């Protein structure tokens, strides 16, 4: 089956839905399709807890927000993109307000803001500790107002159709029926989110498997800076569910087994609110040096909120309290929460410029799937939901402008037939002696062990070897469920295939980068090396593994200096 | 400890029960149990899940007769034998996956978005809302659209065009928002033949809602408001 739309947006998270609204606002005549493998309000973005950064009040400034972001990124962010980002953010907050987002308020009814790590002003806007949830629902609800938006809920992207450097469309499986649908489009926006499930211990939803990145990569689009993966300091042990940074923003402490607030020794000024890479490394070091707290699920660090009092916890951190009670039986009002650093954010993504344009004409990427890059080697908390809003909008607008002057180009029936046969004959129909679940498990173990917070050559080499082995074995996977409709076994297998491609890029990229910058920390190269490595990594697909190129970082105002907190 | 999972399965044609025994540790959730089965025992088992932190609304299923979010339900709190079934009042697509399209359409039908005459996309302005005004509707924003309420609703069971508790809650959430100006429009939408007057006040919805939202209260409040509007219109 074939359908045609001016713009097809893949991914209904914050970035994708913001793109839809932006495009729909640009012209009522455009036909805009939104594809997502989950219902929109089931996207990963609903998990975002802490908040969204924007300059709103006296005392703060665009330059300060930009500087915090650039410094946080360990100078790998592109500063033109950062400057654009901070300037556009305040309006996004107001738009969400006007569309019904239940922002938390000050006593006089203004939009409230709180402290967040790495930000030198209390500029994080929030809706209790369910910020992402409310933002998603607000965008979803607003989106319902535009009659020219057609939703394809529970459709799964399998490939992009690119010819002569130009996007022509894509293919997706309609999950309910199992049919493959060809979407012809003048422009496509990828907003499929990050790749957190490469790791086993992660804050991410089960569905965050880097699909859009992997599909783009396979189609020849370069991925940027994939070796930079953020570890959030406070993942609940053992599930990895996020205990938001707002816990510390609201005044929570981190303590080791001696009860010591050890951040004193690592970041005496910012303490618990130093950027995530700094805090996560400090915690991991405490654990490695024997000052973690022992438990049946391994060593952990205590996140202590007990001094905040019940009222503040209920008002500002209700979800955290609820989750701690439900998932580990601990009430944070009474007892510290067991936490450990946890894989949390994909700084890298589909390579785009500051307009969200990829090297392929008509193909855009936004949100966590893209890499503009405003986060560089380490993103600040609250900057990611913000990025989704600003760059989701930018992508939607740019795509709309582009398609108003572009024509459809038809995709031949052969392309469709070939994809159909790849999926249903080669992948679903194949027999073999491997199962995707086992491969995923081994991948997760490798990532959690060899590509964790502290990296070193031998282990990275071992990881590259292991991932290659897993890719080999993937060719031998057999899917148990042979039926067509709602085949989650097939979807899972696709996802594992996507993740193996991405893992290889992450691992080799990390091995190549012989320096420490932001979240990428090499024990054998513990210093940042601006002379050789102040540059972005680009990975291109080849059948024998990624080919790497490097491009310069855009610097407008801020020359790299030593990063101290 | 081993726990027995009895799961009602459906392959598109026939429905049957299947039993799996799985090793369970303290802290393990029903969703983790389902994943255990899928990853180790039967890859064809089909269910929805995403966030595993009770916020995306994907994973509502019937567990020992009661609709709950699988991801926040501890296995050992239920016991050592579990029956897992798809939600009632929804058409089953496969195993535990049910068709939510109609449910979302009903939500859409109540115009669940802020309606304001001065809506200005290009130049938004900050609207003032006091914490008190926020609290007046905030609890009703917490609906994750899991469908648990709808699955136990006797009115929905008898009339499948009934809007249902979640959609009506959404209408109330906006009506009660101090920034909104669309109350009349929405009242007209939810007080029709398929709306609030169908509700039997069984209040089972409020009992099962995993977010403790009390959709029955939203229905009641809207009925009250609608009655007042009707009386007003008679005297107008
Ligand atoms: C627990 C947690 C808390 C966080 N808290 C914060 C915070 O407080 N502040 C902050 O700024 N950031 C936070 N972040 C980061 C932030 O939430 C994410 O970076 C952001 O929400 C990503 O949004 P997105 O729109 O890019 O993608 P997502 O929300 O992940 O959406 C991706 C969409 O793509 C669809 N999709 C994926 N693959 C396919 C496919 N193959 N076919 C079709 N559709 C597909 C999915 O269905 C989904 O609709 C947090 C992250 C986590 C893990
Ligand atoms: S009102 Fe409660 S039970 Fe009903 S859909 Fe919303 S969260 Fe689920
Ligand atoms: S998996 Fe999201 S609510 Fe259970």
pLDDT at B110 over 90: yes
CA–CA dist A497, A501 (Å, integer): 7
Cα of A111 to nearest chain B Cα, Å: 8
Interface with chain B: mutation pick from A327, A330, A437, A495, highest number of B CBs within 10 Å: A327
Distance A325 CA to ligand 3 centre (A): 17
A248 is catalytic: yes
Per CATH, domain B101-235 is 3.40.109.10: no
Structure tokens at A114: 């709180």
Predicted local distance difference test score (pLDDT) of residue B235? 77
Count other C-beta atoms under 10 Å from residue A523's C-beta.
Answer: 11
Pairing of strands A179-190, A166-174: antiparallel
Give domain limits for chain A: 235-341, 422-528
Q: Between chains, do A153 and B121 touch, taking CB under 8 Å as contact?
A: no
Q: Which residues in chain B are contacts of A145 at CB distance < 8 A?
A: 113
Predicted local distance difference test score (pLDDT) of residue A117? 87
Give domain limits for chain B: 2-98, 101-235
Predicted local distance difference test score (pLDDT) of residue B234? 79
To which residue do tokens 């994907």 refer? B58
Catalytic residue among A134, A151, A248, A393: A248
What does DSSP assign to residue A368? Answer: G
CA–CA dist A128, A134 (Å, integer): 9
Instruction: Answer yes or no: are the C-beta atoms of A77 and A65 closer than 8 Å.
Output: no
CATH topology of domain A422-528: Methane Monooxygenase Hydroxylase; Chain G, domain 1 (1.20.58)
Count other C-beta atoms under 10 Å from residue A493's C-beta.
Answer: 26
Q: How confident is the model at residue B202 (pLDDT cuts 50, 70, 90)?
A: confident
What does DSSP assign to residue A517? Answer: B
Three-point CA angle B141, B146, B151, nearest 5°: 120
Q: Between chains, do A105 and B124 touch, taking CB under 8 Å as contact?
A: no
Predicted local distance difference test score (pLDDT) of residue B200? 86
Complex prediction ipTM: 0.97
| A50 Cβ contact partners less than 8 Å away, ≥ 6 residues apart | A116, A124, A126, A129, A131, A244, A245, A246, A249, A381, A382
**CA-based end-to-end distance of chain A:** 56
Low-confidence residues of chain A: pLDDT under 70: none
Ligand 2 pocket test: which of B166, B167, B214 has the largest number of ligand atoms within 8 Å of its C-beta? B166
CATH (one of 3.50.50.60, 3.30.450.20, 3.10.20.30, 3.40.50.150) for B2-98 = 3.10.20.30
Instruction: Answer yes or no: are the C-beta atoms of A68 and B86 closer than 8 Å.
Output: no
CA–CA dist A424, A166 (Å, integer): 27
Q: Which residues in chain A are contacts of B128 at CB distance < 8 A?
A: 108-110
Q: Which residues 346-365 of chain A have a CB within 8 Å of chain B?
A: none
Predicted local distance difference test score (pLDDT) of residue A189? 98
For A235-341, CATH gives 3.90.700.10
Hey, is the C-beta of B50 within 8 angstroms of any chain A C-beta?
Answer: yes
Distance A11 CA to ligand 1 centre (A): 9
CA–CA dist B102, A176 (Å, integer): 14
Question: Where does residue A139 fall: left (phi above 0), alpha (psi -120 to 50 degrees), or beta otherwise?
Answer: alpha
pLDDT at B236 over 80: no
Q: What residues are in contact with ligand 1 under a 6 Å CB criterion?
A: A 10-16, 35-38, 43-45, 47-52, 131-132, 155-157, 191-194, 203-204, 207-208, 211-212, 242, 244, 344-345, 367-369, 381-386, 388
Q: What residues are in contact with ligand 2 under a 6 Å CB criterion?
A: B 143-149, 165-166, 169, 209-211, 213, 215
Count other C-beta atoms under 10 Å from residue B136's C-beta.
Answer: 14
Three-point CA angle A192, A19, A217, nearest 5°: 35
Predicted local distance difference test score (pLDDT) of residue A437? 97
Interface with chain B: mutation pick from A36, A105, A436, A494, highest number of B CBs within 10 Å: A105
**Residue A80 CB-density burial (10 A; 0-12 exposed, 13-18 middle, 19+ buried):** middle
Distances, alpha carbon A315 to alpha carbons A127, A136, A281, A308, in Å? 10, 21, 30, 11
Predicted local distance difference test score (pLDDT) of residue A514? 98
CA–CA dist A309, A332 (Å, integer): 9
Q: Between chains, do B27 and A98 touch, taking CB under 8 Å as contact?
A: no
- Kindly report the protein residue whose alpha carbon is nearest to atom 8 of ligand 2: B146
Q: Which residues in chain B are contacts of A491 at CB distance < 8 A?
A: none
Q: Between chains, do A95 and B43 touch, taking CB under 8 Å as contact?
A: no
- A124 prior amide bond cis, ω within 30: no
Q: What is the pTM of this model?
A: 0.97
Average pLDDT over residues B77-88: 96
| A422 Cβ contact partners less than 8 Å away, ≥ 6 residues apart | none
The widest CA-to-CA distance across chain B, in whole angstroms, is 69
Count other C-beta atoms under 10 Å from residue B151's C-beta.
Answer: 25
| A447 Cβ contact partners less than 8 Å away, ≥ 6 residues apart | A198, A199, A200, A343, A463, A503, A506
What does DSSP assign to residue B13? Answer: S
């Amino acid at each position: 089956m074939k359908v045609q739309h001016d713009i097809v947006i893949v991914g209904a998270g914050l970035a994708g839905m913001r793109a839809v609204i932006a495009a729909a606002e640009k012209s009522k005549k455009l036909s805009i399709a939104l594809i997502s493998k989950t219902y929109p309000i089931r996207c990963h973005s609903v998990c975002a807890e802490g908040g969204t950064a924007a300059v709103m009040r006296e005392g703060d400034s665009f330059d300060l927000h930009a500087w915090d972001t650039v410094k946080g990124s360990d100078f790998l962010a592109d500063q033109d993109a950062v400057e654009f980002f901070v300037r556009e953010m305040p309006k996004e907050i107001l738009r969400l307000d006007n569309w019904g987002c239940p922002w938390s308020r000050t006593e006089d009814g203004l939009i409230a803001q709180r402290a967040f790590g790495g930000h030198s002003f209390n500029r994080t806007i929030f809706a209790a500790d369910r910020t992402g949830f409310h933002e998603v629902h607000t965008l979803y609800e607003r989106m319902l107002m535009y009659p020219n938006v057609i939703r394809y809920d529970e459709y799964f992207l399998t490939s992009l159709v690119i010819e002569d450097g130009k996007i022509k469309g894509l293919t997706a499986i309609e999950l309910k029926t199992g049919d493959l649908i060809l979407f012809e489009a003048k422009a496509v926006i990828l907003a499929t989110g990050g790749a957190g499930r490469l790791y086993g211990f992660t804050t991410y939803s089960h569905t965050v498997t880097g699909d859009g990145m992997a599909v783009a990569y396979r189609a020849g689009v370069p991925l940027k800076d994939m070796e930079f993966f953020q570890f959030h300091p406070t993942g609940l042990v053992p599930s990895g569910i996020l205990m938001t940074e707002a816990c510390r923003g609201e005044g929570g402490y981190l303590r080791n087994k001696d009860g010591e607030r050890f951040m004193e020794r690592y970041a005496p000024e910012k303490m618990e609110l130093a950027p995530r890479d700094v805090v996560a490394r400090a915690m991991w070091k405490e654990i490695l040096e024997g000052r973690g707290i022992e438990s049946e699920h391994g060593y952990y660090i205590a996140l202590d909120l007990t001094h905040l009092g019940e009222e503040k916890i209920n008002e500002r951190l209700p979800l955290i309290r609820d989750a701690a009670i439900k998932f580990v039986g601990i009430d944070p009002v009474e007892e510290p929460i067991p936490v450990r650093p946890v894989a949390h954010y994909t700084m890298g993504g589909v390579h785009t410029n500051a307009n969200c344009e990829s090297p392929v004409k008509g193909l855009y990427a936004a949100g966590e799937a893209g890499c503009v890059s405003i986060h560089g080697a380490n993103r600040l908390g609250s900057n990611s939901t913000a990025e989704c809003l600003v760059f989701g909008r930018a992508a939607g607008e740019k795509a709309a402008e582009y398609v108003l002057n572009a024509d459809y180009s038809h995709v031949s029936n052969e392309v469709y037939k070939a994809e159909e046969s790849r999926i249903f004959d080669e992948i679903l129909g194949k027999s073999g002696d491997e199962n995707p679940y086992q491969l995923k498990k081994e991948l997760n173990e490798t990532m959690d062990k060899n590509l964790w917070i502290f990296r070193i050559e031998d282990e990275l080499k071992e990881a590259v070897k292991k991932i290659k082995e897993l890719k080999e074995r993937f060719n031998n996977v057999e899917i148990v469920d042979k039926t067509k409709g709602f085949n989650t076994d097939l979807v899972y297998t696709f996802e594992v295939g996507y993740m193996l491609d991405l893992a290889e890029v992450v691992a080799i990229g990390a091995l190549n980068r012989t320096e420490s910058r932001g979240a990428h920390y090499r024990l054998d190269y513990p210093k940042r090396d601006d002379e050789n490595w102040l540059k972005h990594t680009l990975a291109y697909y080849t059948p024998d593994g990624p080919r790497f190129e490097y491009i310069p970082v855009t610097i407008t105002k801020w020359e790299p200096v030593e990063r101290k907190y | 400890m081993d726990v027995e999972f009895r799961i009602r399965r459906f392959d598109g044609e026939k429905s049957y029960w299947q039993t799996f025994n799985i090793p369970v540790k303290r802290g393990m959730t029903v969703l983790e149990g389902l994943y255990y089965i899928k990853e180790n025992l039967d890859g064809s088992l089909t269910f929805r899940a995403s966030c595993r932190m009770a916020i995306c609304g994907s994973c509502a299923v019937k567990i020992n007769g009661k609709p709950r979010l699988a991801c926040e339900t501890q296995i050992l709190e239920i016991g050592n034998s579990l029956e897992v079934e798809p939600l009632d009042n929804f058409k089953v697509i496969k195993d535990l996956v049910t068709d939510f399209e109609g449910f979302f359409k009903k939500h859409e039908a109540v115009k669940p978005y802020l309606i304001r005459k001065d809506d200005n996309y290009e130049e938004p302005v900050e609207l003032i809302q006091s914490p008190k005004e926020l609290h007046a509707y905030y609890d009703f924003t917490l609906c994750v659209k899991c469908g648990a309420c709808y699955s136990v609703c006797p009115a929905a069971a008898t009339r499948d065009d009934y809007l249902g508790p979640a959609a009506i809650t959404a209408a109330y959430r906006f009506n009660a928002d101090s920034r909104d100006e669309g109350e009349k429009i929405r009242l007209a939408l939810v007080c029709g033949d398929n709306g609030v007057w169908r509700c039997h006040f069984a209040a089972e919805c409020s009992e099962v809602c995993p977010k403790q939202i009390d959709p029955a209260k939203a229905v009641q409040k809207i009925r009250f408001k609608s009655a007042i509007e009707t009386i007003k219109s008679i005297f107008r």
